Amino acid sequence: MTDRVVTTAGDWALASDGIQWMLMRRHRRPKKDTWDPIWFVHSTRDVLALGMREKGVEPGTADLLLSGLPATFDQWKASLPGLAEGEK
């Protein structure tokens, strides 16, 4: 599975590399902004929320990023449509 962005809110994004969720932050660059992963978690939405707080994501932004996520990474991954069996 290739990296996929789940959602963005301001300078923050939630992505996945198929193994874990990745909290990403936009870094403004002179020629092109980059999205850099700053925290990884293959666990629960609650642990992801804790990491967001620790990394300085504002509560409203965190709520947007977490909206609609199931309780665990594995539940989220299993819900993705169209993945080949070998990619799950």
Quote the CA–CA distance of 88 and 72 in Å, as a whole number: 14
Q: How confident is the model at residue 84, as a pLDDT?
A: 43
- pLDDT tens readout for residues 5-49: 889 999 999 999 989 999 999 999 999 999 999 999 999 999 999
In this predicted structure, the answer to whether residue 88 has a pLDDT above a threshold of 50 is no
Global confidence as pTM:
0.84
Quote the CA–CA distance of 45 and 14 in Å, as a whole number: 12
Strand (E) or helix (H) holding 50: helix 45-54
Sheet containing 12-16, strands listed edge to edge, beginning at the edge strand earlier in sequence: 4-9, 12-16, 21-27, 34-41
- pLDDT tens readout for residues 54-83: 999 999 999 999 999 999 999 999 998 865
Residues 6+ apart with CB under 8 A from 29: none
Quote the CA–CA distance of 9 and 57 in Å, as a whole number: 10
